[in-house]
Amino acid sequence: MAGRPGVNPLEGMCQPDLLQAVSTWLATLSGERRVSRHTLRAYDSDIRQFLGYMNNHLGAPVGLKDISDAALRDFRGYLSKKALKGNSSTTRARALSSLRTFFKWMDFNGILHNAALKLMTTPKVPHKVPRPLEAPRIFEMLDTMEGGDWTDLRDMALFGLLYGSGLRISEGLSLNIRNIDEATDMIRITGKGNKQREVPLLPQSVSLIRAYREACPEVETDDRPLFIGVRGDRLNPGMVQKRMRALRVRMGLGETATPHALRHSYATHLLGEGMNLREIQELLGHSSLTTTQRYTEVDYTQLLETFKKAHPRA
């Protein structure tokens, strides 16, 4: 859990039985389910905030019986307080999802049962349609990065990979040298939920990665991260975001031009070229076709804009 080394931030607000349950649950998420560090931190934070709310509400350390007896008004009060603090509906929906996951785990393991939580309605999350970049602008962006040192070649290779193979930024940065099959020009990706998939590399991506690897000063081993920082450690997502912000300013791109927008662009452009949604779903590693279907809305939006500009009566 987050906090000072050796200090559990829940101590003082939770009784030992609940403290043990939370610790075991988080260990299960990390070990058996192998959720990402980002997801684990989110679960940890959400549960701590809820138990902190209950601690203040009861005026005493919270135990398993207290949250087993928690009423619908307690859960509503917690989310209402988050809303008053300015938390978005997306953040509140995630907080409720974390609670449901924790309580479901406790129910499954015979620790406690709470029927009230099942009556909670998830806050309505605004539907966001991905906004892809046009292909010429992506190629222009890559050209803009030419002519520098090995770190520029690295960033070109990474951005080219995010667009050329539709990777999440976390997937690209988690790659090791061994994940690239140079004989077949395929890469093995470990996505959400530790699900693995193989994705083909475009010839342009192969060239960009090769140029970066040849220029990179660090010795290569199979276990070495593919994309590294100047100190030889795995490249930090913050550095990638920083580079994209600089490119946005330099090229006059909007705020929607993010590393993740390159993944959206990949899917949208494939859809525009006639690839079916099932194939795109496999390439993106989506567990649900519903998620992939969001890209049909993008394509329709672009089609409508083109129609308005081209049709004489539009």
Residues designated as active site: 168, 192, 260, 263, 286, 295
CB burial string 108-144: b at 16+ within 10 A, e below: eeebbebebbeeeeebeeeeeebbbbeeeebeebbee
Residues 6+ apart with CB under 8 A from 147: none
d(C-alpha 115, C-alpha 306), whole Å: 51
Whole-number Å distance between alpha carbons of 188 and 55: 46
**Distance from C-alpha of 220 to C-alpha of 262, rounded to nearest angstrom:** 27
Residue 43 backbone zone (phi > 0: left; psi -120 to 50: alpha; other: beta): alpha
Which stretches does DSSP call E strand in 45-195?
Answer: 180-181, 186-190
Distance in angstroms (rounded) separating the CA atoms of residues 303 and 131: 13
* Chain centroid to CA 74: 30
Rounded to the nearest 10°, the torsion over CA 243, 247, 248, 252 is 170
- Burial of residue 306 (number of CB atoms within 10 Å: 0-12, 13-18, 19+): exposed
Give the per-residue SS3 of 236-275. Answer: CHHHHHHHHHHHHHHHCCCCCCCHHHHHHHHHHHHHHCCC
DSSP 62-82: B-HHHHHS--HHHHHHHHHHH
